[in-house]
């Protein structure tokens, strides 16, 4: 299920696009692997739309924790030392 978000984070979208390109992928190829449209992947990357499935799939593809890929959506958990 997707939900409309309130803001657009162009820097995060560009960072995710760069990370995808560095791994030989792009929004279209990521979308094909996830089974959604490239427009949805770009919208999720920019924070315009929420889709936990797309967010989690991108994080897994890029081998980056959700907290690092979407820091405004998934605050880092504090570790007890």
What are the phi and psi torsion angles at 16 (to 5°)? -65, -40
21-76 residue pLDDT tens: 999 999 999 999 999 999 999 999 999 999 999 999 999 999 999 999 998 888 87
Tokens for 56, please give them.
Answer: 């989690």
The ranges assigned to domains in the chain are 3-67
Q: Answer positive or negative: Cα dihedral of 8, 34, 69, 16.
A: negative
Tell how many helices (H) and how many strands (E) occur in the chain. Answer: 5, 2
2-28 residue pLDDT tens: 555 556 788 999 999 999 999 999 999
pTM: 0.83
Res 80 pLDDT > 80: no
- The alpha carbon of 44 is separated from its chain's Cα centroid by a whole number of angstroms, namely 6
Other CB atoms within a 10 A radius of the CB of residue 33 amount to: 14
Question: What does CATH list as the number for 3-67?
Answer: 1.10.260.40
């Amino acid at each position: 299920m997707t939900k409309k978000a309130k803001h657009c984070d162009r820097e995060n979208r560009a960072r995710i696009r760069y990370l995808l390109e560095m791994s030989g992928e792009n929004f279209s190829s990521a979308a094909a692997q996830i089974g959604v449209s490239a427009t949805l992947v770009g919208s999720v990357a920019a924070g315009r739309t929420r889709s936990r499935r797309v967010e989690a799939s991108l994080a897994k593809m890029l081998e980056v924790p959700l907290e690092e890929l979407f820091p405004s959506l998934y605050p880092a958990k504090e570790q007890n030392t």
